[in-house]
Chains A and B, each alone.
Chain A
Amino acid sequence: MAIKQQSTLDTLREQGRQRLYPDVPRITVGMATCGQAAGAAEVYQALQEATQGTSIAVVPVGCRGYCQREPLVDVRIPGWPRLIYAQVTPDQARELAEAASNRQLVLDGALGREDNDKPLWGEEQILATDSVPEQIDTIPLLRDIDFYKHQVRIATRNCGIIDPASLPEYVARGGYQALAKVLEQMTPEEVIEEITASGLRGRGGGGFPTGRKWRSCREAKGEPHYVICNADEGDPGAYMDRSILEGDPHAVLEGMIIGAYAIGSPQGYIYVRAEYPLAVSTLREAINQARTAGLLGNDILGSGFAFDIDIVRGGGAFVCGESTALMASVEGRAGEPRSKYVHTVESGLWDKPTNLNNVETWANVPAIIAQGPDWFSSIGTEKSKGTKVFSAVGNVQNTGLVEVPMGMTLHELVYDVCGGVLDGRELKAIQTGGPSGGCIPAELLDLPIDYEHLTEAGSMMGSGGMIVMDDRTCMVELARYFTEFLVEESCGKCGPCREGLYQMLHILTDITQGRGKPEYIEQLEELGELLSWASLCALGGTAANPVLSTLRYFREEYEAHIYDKKCPAGVCQELISYRIDPEACTGCHLCARNCPQQAIVGDPKEPHQILTEKCIKCGICREVCKFDAVVVE
């Protein structure tokens, strides 16, 4: 195929370069959902007001992944390195704007600097061209700070750098070059071969080889073929897909267009969960731009290839992350899965061949085509190639999104990248894979993170949620929490999942409330096994993992609840009581002021006391005490 509109991309690229590297200062603010929750909107507004009447460009961007330190603001003054500031307040933003309008660098409080912009492919841009103030060396290069040092950002290559609402900026970082290459130089077969050779596997959980899926779908009979992007990121604790959609929507669109060309599909759908309104509006805008630029529609880049994408908003049902349930939902029905003896690549949406991949998988595709399969497969482990984005959250120092090569150990991820456990506490377990995954105990921290090792350990990769838990987490309560989640989200179509989970929840609730019986552990194991083999879909099939994995690694904690009626972690309210250690208490009265029940009494500067009969065991006193004087027993 020939593409007649190479000039379109050239024009966009030039426009993008001028936007990314203007002759005037450019200030960007991380405005993804997480940034906004940390106050980015107020910072953005302050910057806009402070720069009114100046030529400074104030630009909203997506998320750089360092969510803990949001709002993040980048300031680039032509000729000088870009400086990145963390936890910026509106006041600080105004100061930055004023300094920028005088072309002055503010070194105070900068988190890091960037001397050059080196996209994965495409032109490198040297930022520090003028003579730079000497003190700039006191600010580390952003890529040298611990959080970024170990990362390889492929799927998140543009997040937090480009304006997601700007197609030109995406093109200026090498965007749509892969598509042009595919349309101009490659047959669909060759595209599939490259994806297969790269070793890319599904990033949504299952880890099925992407190239093989594409081939099966291409070869399946029936017209038309559909491609779907699964953006129903339902695993609580995972939000990398949201971040990619909000920060770099064209990466997903380009991946889908390439996939559609390879599979032979005229129509694609992106199924986005209802809880992500910003992702939906960002995608809408991106699709409109792509249509206007001739990157979607009847004659893509003048090649004759026709493909379009529509957005379908989800209704808030976890089970819709399962492919057959998702397709039912696109068809306008309740999202109930069906048995998969006929694969969706043969009979999926409206019973037509349908290829479904998740957001992160699609975002990897342009990089593989642009850089070649060998480059991609040189990253990662033997069977798990490339990188994976993880959301490191929970009781960890630096929470955020990190993209690291497959095969990194859990220890490296938690301690080297994320700075260890919050408040220097002890690591107890890491929960991966969402409600379908399991809990990996601290003893297994040297486990390399890839599909095989996580499954072997009784958990799974899932979509990449990684919840770090310290010694104050009760594993029985956590298992109960996941089971309750799954009971609420079970669609109710098959008995094992609908009834089995309900029984498991009943048992777990009894255990956490002090009514545990010795036979309960065995019953949980039996029910868990039943769910694994008799459920209709993957949701039910993996629903027992949180219970089974905690039973495998933390059985003694179950036993303490059942036999001793004690919660070793001090969480389960019916099994604990609070008291104040008179030795440690300074009588600062902080706990008493915060107690919602007025259950704490004591004279100033004298040890206080908790009135057990009034105490509701909410734990606020323990949380606010600065002297660790509140003891749980």
Chain B
Amino acid sequence: MDNKAKKNALHIENVTMQFGGVVSVNNLSIDVPEHDIIALIGPNGAGKTTAFNCITGVYKPTNGLIEFMGTPMVRSYPSGKDRKNYKGENADKYRGKSVLNPTPDEITKLGIARTFQNIRLWNSMTVFENVLTAKHMRAKQNVFSAIFRGNRSEEKRMREETMELLKEQGLDAYKDENATSLPYGLQRRLEIARALATDPKLLLLDEPAAGMNPQETLELADFVQEIREKYDLTVFLIEHHMDLVMNISDYIYVIDFGSEIARGKPDEVQSNQKVIEAYLGVGEEEG
């Protein structure tokens, strides 16, 4: 790989996710170097979101290793009944090593924040509260100091940082509005702002341009690059919109039916025959 010199923020190795007899993600290996924007693309049902859910702790992968900033974060191998039914590869590679299976909140605490394909804002809260609540994880306080206001300075800091973040994202004008009353594009932006409030090192974006018009998509591309510079982030995104991916990605992985079919720089991937086939479909008369 040409990115050998750079340190990897995220290193995914031989990850397989099998649900019953269905292999959703098959032996996937991805490197996300620090400060890069890496994209994972593929047609519908290719297993992109499943891969994301393995990284963020929603699913425990059947087999494989995920390292974050050089330390193993998730590690698993098939055992018992799963082993008998296992259809993937490398079943014994991680055997004997301890199983690591952190919960989503523990992974967020390590410094991985995510957004969702279908927006998941807290709908009873204002824009301001949505971002403020995401700061709860890193606040230095306990219940008693919170109830009896012994955390006044901490609370003040959280509020100031939230305000600052909203200003930077251009959301300060909407701060007292209900989060779900915002236009769609701004809701996406708010979700990213909320993820940024957890002070991540790696940002995972699950189809950030879904449902956006071309103008909004262009703005989003600028926005992602802007926040990468400003917060020194590594970005790993899943996307359908080819324009967005080709514009901003440093490196692209393409998967279909759970397996990798191509990887490379945007122009390499664009001209790859397998990718074109996967996206356009292979005609029956040809195949």
A in complex with B: no
Interface residues of B (CB under 8 A from A): none
Interface residues of A (CB under 8 A from B): none
